[in-house]
Amino acid sequence: IALILTSLIVVIWVRFGRKTPTATGDIARIAIYPVQAKIAGGAAGMPGMQGQDETINQLLVFAHVRLRNPNQAPITIVDDWGVITLADGSTQRSVGASSADFDKVFQAYPRLAPLRMDPLRRDIQIQPGQSIDGMVVFSYAISRDDWDKRKSMQVTLSFNGAKDMTLNAPTS
């Protein structure tokens, strides 16, 4: 009797207890574009103390993300963000660029045109069995050297009423 009950519990758990993942996916590729800006410390002839010039490093990270909805119901992307873990163990978080900011990046840096693809939009509904892909752009206040020495990068996608999904970016 115990064997039959145990077998029955296992069958019920396998049949009804397992949940289909919210979505499956991967990061097909990562591309980066370093941006360096120099800010002048002060203007000649202006009152006050003269400041020093400051150099600001920024890195634009372009992630080509592919998703598939294995569920029986549609899912909707609500938000996306990326977290990098630097060599010293510290982390930096960046929210993916909005649709308007996505376009502004490619207007500001026309040399990036070969990287451009459709953005992975928030509020896009993915139907059951449907696959989509698109690009997410992140911005980090780090140098190229910091990026090259990073430990990891993960992209997290948040869905409507469902569990978040975190994807590991390729290291090269």
Question: Are the C-beta atoms of 101 and 137 separated by less than 8 Å?
Answer: yes
Burial of residue 5 (CB within 10 Å: 0-12, 13-18, 19+) is: exposed
Q: How far apart are CA 13 and CA 114, in angstroms?
A: 49
pTM, rounded to two decimals = 0.79
Which candidate, 101, 170, 112, places its Cα nearest to that of 139?
Answer: 101
Which candidate, 58, 59, 27, places its Cα nearest to that of 135?
Answer: 27
Mean pLDDT confidence for 148-159: 94
Structure tokens at 88: 């010293």
Q: What is the pLDDT of residue 2?
A: 81
When pLDDT is cut at 50, 70 and 90, the band that residue 171 belongs to is confident
Q: What is the pLDDT of residue 43?
A: 54
Greater confidence, 162 or 100?
100
When pLDDT is cut at 50, 70 and 90, the band that residue 157 belongs to is very high
Which amino acid is it at 94? Answer: S
Mean pLDDT confidence for 116-126: 93
Question: Are the C-beta atoms of 25 and 80 separated by less than 8 Å?
Answer: no
Mean pLDDT confidence for 129-134: 94
Give the position of tokens 């592919």: 66
| Cα-based distances in Å from 115 to 95, 106, 112, 134, 142 | 20, 9, 6, 11, 21
Q: What is the pLDDT of residue 49?
A: 58
Give tens-digit pLDDT for 6-49: 888 777 766 665 555 678 999 999 999 998 777 766 555 555 55
Give tens-digit pLDDT for 63-117: 999 999 988 888 999 999 999 999 999 999 999 999 899 999 999 999 999 999 9
